[in-house]
């Protein structure tokens, strides 16, 4: 069996390769929309004596919000000296897990596409390649489910911590506050959407990869043999 590189773009035109190309773009959008995010909210404090104060809070990936400084130490706000105050919550574990799954899926798609277009003759002449591809594809479908669900919950924590209620909980003061300028989190919402889109794509792709495995061919051969036995001998 020859194992050299043979360029063949036909697999990309088939569902097996075309879906891998779609997965490559979907994984890129999923982790790209959140890994480079940075936002800033403007908070107005109403002191009650006609004087207002303004706070700026900047938060970014990986959203360790409990390390984001809201008020510096020994700062006077509304005639009160306040100690160092941080936002509440930490969504770093969920978003870093999500990004890690996205990056690994992105790299695996590149590797799989290289095999499809250059080594498909080796891939289909062995049992190991399709079986390995199927197991990895199924594993990524599960990882997308877990990571997307975790990041969706983590994003809700980010939205709460940077909202009026979250800011008030961070300040732990009776000073009235209002978030007057919200940073857009549209790209973060898009990342969650693409996470679940990846779940659907990878789950569907698992079927097309399964059809390449020896398990599917054996099942098909067994069904064919049972059908032939069921017909019985032909008329004499």
pLDDT at residue 153 is higher than 90: yes
Question: Phi/psi at 185 (nearest 5 deg)?
Answer: -110, 25
Quickly state the pLDDT bin for 233 (edges 50, 70, 90): low
Domain presence at residue 234: no
Quickly state the pLDDT bin for 236 (edges 50, 70, 90): very low
Q: pTM for the whole thing?
A: 0.85
List, in sequence order, every residue forming a beta bridge with 176; answer none if it has no partner. 46
Q: Which of 22-31, 33-42, 94-103, 122-131 has the lowest mean pLDDT?
A: 122-131
Higher pLDDT among residues 105 and 11, named by residue:
105
Domain presence at residue 217: yes
Question: Phi/psi at 64 (nearest 5 deg)?
Answer: -85, 80
What digits encode the pLDDT tens for the residues 169-200? 888 777 788 888 888 999 999 999 999 999 99
Question: Phi/psi at 157 (nearest 5 deg)?
Answer: -70, -40
- Can you tell me the distance from the alpha carbon of 135 to that of 209, in angstroms, rounded to the nearest whole number? 9
DSSP character for 234? P
- Can you tell me the distance from the alpha carbon of 109 to that of 97, in angstroms, rounded to the nearest whole number? 18
Q: What is the pLDDT of residue 216?
A: 56
- Two tokens at 17? 């390769």
- Two tokens at 118? 């250059």
pLDDT at residue 224 is higher than 60: no
Higher pLDDT among residues 78 and 12, named by residue:
12
Q: What is the pLDDT of residue 126?
A: 81
How many domains does one find in the chain? 1
Domain presence at residue 83: no
List, in sequence order, every residue forming a beta bridge with 75; answer none if it has no partner. 82
Antiparallel, parallel or unpaired: β 176-181 and 75-77: unpaired
Q: What is the pLDDT of residue 195?
A: 96
Domain presence at residue 67: no
Burial code (b: 16+ CB inside 10 Å, e: under 16) for 185-209 equals beebebbbebbebbbebbbebbebb
Domain presence at residue 199: yes
Q: What is the pLDDT of residue 55?
A: 86
- How many CA atoms are closer than 13 Å to the CA of 59, on its beta-carbon side? 34
Mean pLDDT of 57-83: 87
Which ranges in 10-119 belong to alpha helices (H)?
10-13, 15-35, 92-118
Q: No. of H helices and E strands in the chain?
A: 8, 7
What digits encode the pLDDT tens for the residues 154-164? 999 999 999 98
pLDDT at residue 10 is higher than 50: yes
Quickly state the pLDDT bin for 230 (edges 50, 70, 90): low
Q: Which of 13-17, 68-72, 109-113, 222-226 has the lowest mean pLDDT?
A: 222-226
CB 157 within 8 A of CB 163: no
Mean pLDDT of 135-154: 96
Mean pLDDT of 217-229: 51
CB 198 within 8 A of CB 20: no
Sequence-ordered list of residues with C-beta below 8 angstroms from that of 199, at least 6 positions apart, any chain: 141, 144, 145, 148
Domain presence at residue 16: yes
Domain presence at residue 181: no
Domain presence at residue 81: no
Mean pLDDT of 204-210: 90
- The boundaries of the domain holding residue 128 are 10-38+92-175+186-228
């Amino acid at each position: 069996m020859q194992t050299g590189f043979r360029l063949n773009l036909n697999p990309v035109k088939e569902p097996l390769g075309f879906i891998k190309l779609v997965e490559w773009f979907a994984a890129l959008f999923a982790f790209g929309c959140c890994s480079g995010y940075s936002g800033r909210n403007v908070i107005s404090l109403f002191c009650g004596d006609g004087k207002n104060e303004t706070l700026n809070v900047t938060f970014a990936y990986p959203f360790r919000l409990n390390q984001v400084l809201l008020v510096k130490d020994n700062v006077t706000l509304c005639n009160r000296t306040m100690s160092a105050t941080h936002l509440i919550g930490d969504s770093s574990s969920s978003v870093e897990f999500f990004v890690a799954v996205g990056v690994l899926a992105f790299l695996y798609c590149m590797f799989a596409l290289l095999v499809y277009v250059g080594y498909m003759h080796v891939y289909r002449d062995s049992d190991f390649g399709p079986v390995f591809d199927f197991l990895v594809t199924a594993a990524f479908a599960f990882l997308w489910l877990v990571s997307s669900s975790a990041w969706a919950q983590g994003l809700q924590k980010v939205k709460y911590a940077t909202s009026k209620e979250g800011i008030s909980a961070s300040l732990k003061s009776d000073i009235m506050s209002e978030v007057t300028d919200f940073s857009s989190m549209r790209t973060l919402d898009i990342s969650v959407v693409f996470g679940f889109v990846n779940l659907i794509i990878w789950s569907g792709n698992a079927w097309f990869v399964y059809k390449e495995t020896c398990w599917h061919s054996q099942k098909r051969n067994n069904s064919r043999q049972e059908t032939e036995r069921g017909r019985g001998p032909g008329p004499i």
